Amino acid sequence: MSEPYEMSCVELARAYRDRQLTPRDALESILQRMAEVEPVLNAFCWRDDEAARAAADAASARWAGGAPQGDLDGMPISIKDLVDVAGMPTRYGSTASPDTPVATDAPCVANLRQEGAIVLGKTTTPEYGHKGVTDSPLTGITRNPWNTGMTTGGSSGGAAAALASGMGPLAVGTDGGGSCRKPANYCGLVGMKPSLGRVPLTATGGFWPLSSPGPMTRTVRDAAALLQVMSRPQINDPFVLPPIDLTVDDEANLKGLRIAQSVELAGANARPEVTAAVQQQFSVFADLGADVEETAPAVENPMPFYRTLLDSGSALYAAGWTDAELALADTTFREGIERGRALSAVDLRAAYLQRGAFAGQMAAFFDRYDLLVLPCNPTTTYELGMREPPKEPTDTWPVTVCFTAPFNITGQPAITVPFGKTESGLPVGLQIVGRYGRDDLVLRAAAAFESTTGCTNQMVTKVDLPSSASD
């Protein structure tokens, strides 16, 4: 049997049921793993090991008595530090945030606790999740376990580093432009942005309606199980979608589905290494019985009005900041705040109108196709210290979230699934996008793809600092 820290959520549940392991056994294995790799990776910004042990003991007693609270009872999970966990501070990666514990769980965390999940702690994020790499003035740099000189991506980079190194089988991230999917793609994981409204919220925040909590895991089956619990409606969010069955089975069959495949979107391309790797996987969907066609939505680059929506949110988050607090902010976040403060109400409403028109164009495309398969990002991971990698002469992509952010604009469900490594040895996956509300279909296709490729539960066993690292 594998070490407990190496096991998926489904494998742990089986071990609990068969009395081969207890939740306390699993937790102690993960805590020992944390002691080994967390000093290198810097994935967590807050932990409460004793509270986790108490929760693990309670879960162990329930399993021993044959009465677990649910499928996630006793499952260790990390929560991104943009999501409230009662008893822990929510710092948003910012020196301007208070370090006092919050009193109430976010709705998705409340759902997880009711199921018996064990909260390991809070994972790192760039300041207010504003960018696609994970470093912040508060917590410093988070490193990619596959190559610690490289970025995890972001903004759920701490969650990705934790999962990819064995610091828990489950993580809650948030995704406002690819923030679950980009770090999952760069770290060989599964990351999903659910449909807008699938996961309940108590407060929409500055980046609504772009951002949503989402599951991050090492297997599609674990992602489905996690989202099933996260998405249970709560009365404090009247706009949450009705619940649906997100269960995935072992049947690798996509017969009858109409799937569009493309390596380009809205004028953006992927680099040759990524393009070649993704194109090699396109035949999998035809082999699974789907009717496939190489085509893409005829849409223009949405990044200009997407940036307006983001910048207005940054300005909202910093509305009460003093000049001294602003001076301590991440440089790129401060620039976004300043751009947001310069916007007018007309600018913002115009961006919302453009969002609506863009979503309409996508809806028309998905009236013809059930799913769209395309790259998750135009590049693999890149060196630390850069918000975006240096451009190459053949690049037409504006930013590395060019394939992910469009579906935050539309609110559609999208998942990234790994399938191996590129010729340079770095993790790579592809993205599967579905119609609004069809999270179940996206998960079904992802599970079938994963089952066929056999690329599942990837994890780095040995994590070392590069010899030149100084951070």
Which amino acids are annotated catalytic? Answer: 80, 155, 179
CA dihedral over 161, 210, 190, 26, signed as positive or negative: positive
Phi, psi of 230 (to 5 degrees): -55, -35
Strand 258-261 relative to strand 291-294, pairing: parallel
Phi, psi of 322 (to 5 degrees): -80, 165
Contact 136, 126 (CB under 8 A): yes
Tokens for 97?
């945030």
d(CA 74, CA 10): 12
Tokens for 417?
């699934």
Phi, psi of 69 (to 5 degrees): -75, -20
Length of the chain: 471
* Angle ∠(122,123,129) on CA atoms, nearest 5: 115
Tokens for 111?
């759902």
